[in-house]
Amino acid sequence: MRQSMTTTTPRQGETTVSQDLVRLPRRFWNDRRDRELPMPKAIAWSKTHVCVSPTDPVLADYLDDAKYYADIVRMSGDRDLTGLQASARATVKALTA
């Protein structure tokens, strides 16, 4: 999901962000980070999402990884990974929207 985020009055030490961003689910983000793979640069984040630039060069690999996890987890039937699979599918949706 692309979202326009604008900060109109930054606090001291903050910068304004005014660009289209892609919101990525935090669960798949954390899993990929824990596997020590290349990560896109986080521009903004919340408890459930991380926002990145849609032009980040790492996003192609990130998308391939999300597609793999969305499919392989479904085929394995491992119930412990259903949350990760849902996050991977949401990541694919966000990056292909």
Q: For residue range 53-93, list pLDDT tens digits in order.
A: 999 999 999 999 999 998 876 666 666 678 889 999 999 99
pLDDT average, residue stretch 16-35: 86
Q: Give 22's strand partners.
A: 2, 52
**Taking the model in full, what pTM does it have?**
0.75
CB 95 within 8 A of CB 59: yes
Residues forming a β-bridge with 18: 6
Q: Which pLDDT tens digit goes with each residue over 8-24? A: 344 554 444 446 899 99
Domain of residue 39, residue span:
2-8+16-96
CA atoms within 13 A on the CB side of 61: 8
Helices 26-34 & 59-76, crossing angle to 10 degrees?
Answer: 100
Domains in the chain: how many in total?
Answer: 1
